[in-house]
Amino acid sequence: MRKLLSFVTCVLIAISTISCTMVRLRRNLSPPLKDWLEYHQNIMGSKVPIWLDERGGSEYKHFLRLPRQMQIAYTHYFWKIRREGLKENYYDRIRTANRVFFDEGKPGWKTDRGYILTLCGSPQYLQKVTVNDLSFMWISNPSNRGVPFRTPAHDTDGTVYIIWEYYHRNGRARFVFNYSSSGYKLDYGGIVGLSNQRWFIEKNREAFNPTPTGWEMWGEELYRYVKKKEKK
C-alpha cells in the first residue's frame, strides 16, 4: 500500500505543473477554498507522512500542492480523517470567540485571544491588570525609586493587560494580551515572561492532527484519483 502511494505522489507531481511558492499557490485558490483554508489553517500543523507525500512538509503545504479537484475533495475529508468530536469542539470554540471578542473590528476567532481560545480552549485562570496595578508594582520596586511611572495606553476600564493561564502536567502556560488601539495583542514575553507558551500551543495543535488511519483513508482517495487520470 505504501509503495503504491509513493507512486501516487510521483504521478500527482506530474499532474500539477505549478512550480511556485506557497504564497503563489494560495493566491491561486478559488475564493471558497481561500475562505475554507483561512478557517482551518490554525490546526493544520501535522506533518504529512513521507509515504503519502514524498516532498514532506505540513498538512497546509500538502493541501496547497494538490490539484484543484483534490483540494475540494480534501475539504470533505478534513474532519473524517481526524478523531471524532474534534469538529464540534473546534466550531464551538470559534462561536465562543465570535461572541466574546466581537469588538476588535474583526471576527472574534481572528483576534489574538480568539486564536488561543480556538487552539487551547478556555483558560483556567484569568486576570486583568489595570494601570493602578502597574503603578503599584512600579512604586513597590526599589529599583524604580525616583523614576516617574509612565501611564501606558489602556481602554476605558483601565485594563492594560489580560493574563490567561492554563495548568497541565508539565506545569503552567501563561499568555499575556497587551491592550492597543486595535485590540488585545498576544505579548510573547511582556510583563511576566515567556513561560512555555509555544510548547503549549503546539501540544494543543497536535490534538487536532489526522490519525494514522485517517492518512490511510486519504491516501486511498488520492490513489483512486490517479487511477481515473490514467484511464483518460
Q: Tell me the per-residue pLDDT of 78-130, one tens digit each, with 9 for 90 and over.
A: 999 999 999 999 999 999 999 999 888 899 999 999 999 999 999 999 998 88
Cβ-Cβ contacts under 8 Å for 183 (sequence gap 6 or more): 101, 103, 104, 105, 111, 112
Model confidence pLDDT, tens digit, residues 33-86: 999 999 999 999 999 999 998 888 899 999 999 999 999 999 999 999 999 999
Kindly list the domain boundaries of the chain, sorted by start residue: 2-82+211-231, 105-206
Q: pLDDT class for 8, splitting at 50, 70, 90? A: low
Cα 8 from Cα 10, distance rounded (Å): 5
DSSP states of 179-204: EETTEEEEESSTTT--TTHHHHHHHH
Q: Residue holding cell 492532527?
A: 209
pLDDT tier, 171 (very low <50, low <70, confident <90, very high otherwise): confident
Asked whether 52 and 70 are in contact (CB, 8 A), the reply is no
Are 37 and 26 spatial neighbours (Cβ–Cβ below 8 Å)?
A: yes
Full DSSP string of 8-23: HHHHHHHH----S-HH
Quick: pLDDT tens for 190-209: 444 455 788 889 999 999 99
